[in-house]
Amino acid sequence: MKIKLNRRAMIAMGVAAPALLRTSWARAASELRVMAWQGYADDDWVKEFQEQTGITAQVVFIGTDDEIWAKIKGSEGKDFDVFAVNTAQLQRYIDGGLTTPHDLAKLPNQKNVLPRFQDLAQIKGIMRDGKVHAIPFCFDSIGLIYDKAKVSPAPDSFTILWDPKYKGKVLAYDNGEHNFSFTALTLGFPDPFNLSAEQMGQIKAKLSELKQNVLSFYTTPDEALQLYKSNDVALIWANYGQQQVKAMKDAGADIGYVNPKEGALAWLDTWAMTSGVQDKDAAEAWVNFLLQKKIGEQLSERTGFGNTVAETGSANPNDKLVWLEFVEDPTKRSDLWNEVKAQP
Amino acid sequence: MLFVGDRQAKGWRIAISVLAYGLPFLFIVAPLLSFLTYSFFWVEGGQMHYDLTWRNYSRFFTDAIFIPVLWQTCLLCLAVAVLAALLGYPVAFRLATLSGRRKYILLMLVLVPLLMSYIIKIYAIRSILGGNGFLNRFLVWANLIDQPLTLFVFNLNAVLLTLTVLLIPFAILPIFLSLERIPKNLIEASTDLGASNWQTFCRVILPLSLPGVVTAASFVFVLAIGDFLTPQMVGGPNGFTFGRIIYSQFGAAFNWPFGAALSVILALVMSVVIALGRRFERQT
A154-204: pLDDT as tens digits: 999 999 999 999 999 999 999 889 999 999 999 999 999 999 999 999 999
Pairwise CB contact (< 8 Å): A177 & B252: yes
Pairwise CA distance, residues A279 & B107, whole Å: 69
**CATH domain B64-283 topology:** MetI-like fold (1.10.3720)
Could you read off the pLDDT of A313-328 as tens digits, one per residue? 888 888 999 999 989 9
Residues of A in contact with B240 (CB under 8 A): 341-342
Amino acid identity of residue B6, one-letter, is: D
CATH class of A7-140+267-313: alpha beta
**Residue numbers of chain A with a pLDDT score lower than 70:** 1-29
d(CA B105, CA A32): 64
A108 has a chain B CB within 8 A of its CB: no
Query: What is the C-alpha to C-alpha distance for residues B159 and B149, in angstroms, rounded to an integer?
Result: 16
Judge: domain A144-258+323-342, CATH 3.40.50.880: no
Percent of chain A with pLDDT over 70: 92
- Per DSSP, the three-state class of A215 is strand
Q: A176 — contact with chain B (CB < 8 Å)?
A: yes
Q: CA angle at residue A163 from B128 to A197, to 5 degrees?
A: 105
State the best of A229, A338, A343 to mutate against chain B, taking most chain B CBs within 10 Å: A338
Which pLDDT does position A1 carry in this prediction?
Answer: 39
CB A250: neighbour CB atoms within 10 A? 9
Buried b (16+ CB within 10 A) or exposed e, A301-324: eebbbbbbbbebbbbeeebebbbb
Q: How far is B278 from chain A (nearest CA, A)?
A: 33
The amino acid that residue A168 corresponds to is: G
CA distance A101 to A117: 17
Peptide bond into A192 cis (omega under 30): no
Report which of A192, A172, A168, A170 is spatially closest to residue A182, judged by C-alpha positions. Answer: A192
Coil vs helix vs strand at B187: helix
Strands of A54-194, DSSP E: 56-62, 82-86, 99-100, 127-128, 131-132, 135-142, 144-147, 170-173
Please list every residue in chain B whose beta carbon sits closer than 8 Å to the beta carbon of residue A224. Answer: none
The predicted model scores a pTM of 0.78
Provide the pLDDT for residue A321.
Answer: 94
Asked if the Cβ–Cβ distance from B130 to A227 is below 8 Å, we say yes
Cβ separation of B130 and A219 shorter than 8 Å? no
Residues of A in contact with B236 (CB under 8 A): 214-217
The DSSP call for residue B4 is S
DSSP character at residue A220: S
User: Given an 8 Å threshold on Cβ–Cβ distance, is B254 in contact with A331?
Assistant: yes
Task: Kindly state whether A223 is in contact with chain B, defined as any CB-CB distance less than 8 angstroms.
Answer: yes
Domain regions of chain B by residue span: 64-283
Are residues B210 and B89 in contact, defined by beta-carbon separation less than 8 angstroms?
no
- How buried is residue B177: exposed, middle or buried, by Cβ count under 10 Å (0-12/13-18/19+)? middle
Residues of chain B with pLDDT under 50: 1-2
- Domain(s) labelled CATH 3.40.190.10 in chain A stretch across 7-140+267-313, 144-258+323-342
Asked if residues A214 and B236 have their Cβ atoms less than 8 Å apart, the reply is: yes
- Residues of chain A in contact with residue B43, where contact means CB-CB under 8 angstroms, are 331
Q: What is the pLDDT of residue A16?
A: 41
Q: Are A223 and A173 in contact (CB under 8 A)?
A: no
For residue A219, which residues of chain B lie inside 8 Å, CB to CB? 232
Asked if residues A151 and A234 have their Cβ atoms less than 8 Å apart, the reply is yes
By CA distance, what is A207's nearest residue in B?
A: B237
CB neighbour list of residue B240: distance below 8 Å, 6 or more residues apart: A341, A342, B69, B231
8 Å CB contact of A231 and B43 = no
